[in-house]
Chains A and B, each alone.
Chain A
């Protein structure tokens, strides 16, 4: 210490201190001595989860802000939150209910809520996937300007879609009552179903966010994949009944019935519609619902974390 004092003057010291115990120390050791870390390195999974938890207020606030900003340029504003899903349901009813007459296997007052439930529940997954694929690529400014765990973005977008779905659920409840399906205790079952589907959607958004940040072309391709998925999930018609009618083999029925979107849609219909009985559900339906949610939810988080240091680069 005293060796330093002899040569220091008060102004230019910070730059020209001639001898310090650190002199000649290799950079790596100097860094270790003062606890410096390699810039942009990825934290451990536990540390990452902790950082993410610290940003929970950001995640919630960001999803709300995006939700309200969504229709801020429209004159009707927030009315579109409810009007969009309603119009969607009307269009699908016109095409599949009236023109293609899919409703012959179900009575009309069952077919309408059947269709509306399917459309809303699938839209929840579909829009989470679409938002996820652009979560990083579409927010590069934010990613490059501020430091936060990047998983906050896809999670926030999935949360935004959940809030959007809650608006749709109000429409759905009205449709149900209008078709003579009165609220019952079975309706409470939608809470665990929605929770599981949200976990699944979040995992899906995380996976697509990583893929989309590396290959932005995916945003162009995804709508086609999602549309194919929608037709394979029995949104507008009863998938199992239709397959049985065409004498498809049992493994095809089981395979398509185990598709996560179909599982969540069928569980929701089972909960909400009186005469949509358990015979429409695939075997082990709850196991499938939990399994998909845990595998995609946890797997997606780990997969996203693996590339944490690469987002927003280049």
Chain B
């Protein structure tokens, strides 16, 4: 009897657990001291490598648990620590305190992640797939889908040109298409959708829904509340590195909009 009433929520399998995560950036060269070669040498001789290094406490004690099948939006003003938190989840930034546990290897997809600019789009699809651990057959199977999804060839045969000839939107679309071709356990998207046109955004939202169905967890950073509403069922609101709110999309986005409208 229990089976029919238990929806997806009953067997909740955590995929990402963040426990009191603190992240501190150490920024070098942000000092106001003299920037000459002799000053630099002086610092090295006196063994003060951290002279002028400043600490930025970007994330302050964030805890949450993400479950399989969730799409989680991250909102907050610029510099609130959203991207930093994603990098820590992906294992690309060490935590100062606290721990992040993940199921498998989370993949972070950012706007700035360049692939190989001197190679053609075609080669990038192949190499990106191989690097993610797909086999040649799998890539060959999905190649056409990836190219169609990216919409690179809509305006001519661009896929056989080197990626350095692409516009920034085209490059971002191709990167997203490559990364989304694989079924990730945890996929994190950092504003990557903002670069595409409306048709591409629609396709991406659909793909995110598919990824969730394939028992994955998707994180989405966006300043576009509409795309958060369209794709996410849970939202984390970060402000000044602290988790301000964590709950269903409608509730949190409404509170956020109320706050930012003032």
A-side interface residues toward B, CB under 8 Å? Answer: 1-2, 4-5, 8, 10, 12-17, 20, 22, 27-28, 30-31, 34-41, 54-55, 57-58, 61-62, 65, 69, 72-73, 141-142, 144-148, 152, 309-310, 312-314
Contacts and interface: CB of A to CB of B under 8 A. Distances in A.
Contacts of B118: 69, 72-73
Contacts of A146: 107, 128, 131-132, 179
A313 B93 contact: yes
B116 A142 contact: yes
B8 A144 contact: no
Interface string B91-120: 111100001111101111110111110110
Contact of A13 (B9, B90, B112): B9
A17 B115 contact: no
B6 interface: yes
Contact of A15 (B112, B119, B126, B233): B233
A116 B80 CA distance: 59
Contacts of B247: 15
Contacts of B175: 145
A13 B248 CA distance: 10
17 contacts: A1-B10, A15-B233, A15-B247, A27-B99, A30-B65, A36-B14, A36-B101, A38-B100, A39-B101, A39-B106, A55-B133, A58-B130, A65-B127, A69-B116, A148-B133, A309-B91, A314-B93
A43 B13 CA distance: 23
Which of B69, B110, B128, B131: most chain A Cβ within 10 A?
A: B131
A36 B94 contact: no
A14 B70 contact: yes
B115 A145 contact: yes
Contacts of A69: 116, 118-119, 162
A245 to B, nearest CB: 42
B123 interface: yes
A39 B6 contact: no
B215 interface: no
B135 interface: yes
Leading 10 A-B pairs by shortest Cβ distance: A40-B91, A13-B9, A145-B113, A141-B114, A31-B101, A58-B130, A27-B19, A36-B101, A39-B91, A39-B100
B69 A58 contact: no
Nearest to B135: A57
Given A14-B69, A72-B118, A142-B115, A38 B101 contact: yes
Contacts of A314: 26, 93
Given A36-B17, A57-B135, A142-B116, A4 B127 contact: no
Contacts of B9: 4, 8, 13-14, 17
B136 interface: yes
A148 B91 contact: no
Given A40-B100, A69-B119, 10 more contacts: A2-B1, A10-B7, A22-B14, A27-B63, A30-B14, A31-B101, A36-B15, A36-B103, A39-B100, A145-B109
Nearest to B10: A4
B131 A142 contact: yes
Interface in B109-160: 109-110, 112-116, 118-119, 123, 126-128, 130-133, 135-136
A147 B105 contact: yes
A8 B114 contact: no
B89 interface: yes
Contacts of B70: 14
Nearest to B5: A5
B152 to A, nearest CB: 17
Contacts of A73: 118
Contact of A57 (B109, B116, B130): B130
B74 interface: no
Contacts of B99: 27-28, 38
Which of A14, A16, A69, A141: most chain B Cβ within 10 A?
A: A14
A64 B8 CA distance: 46
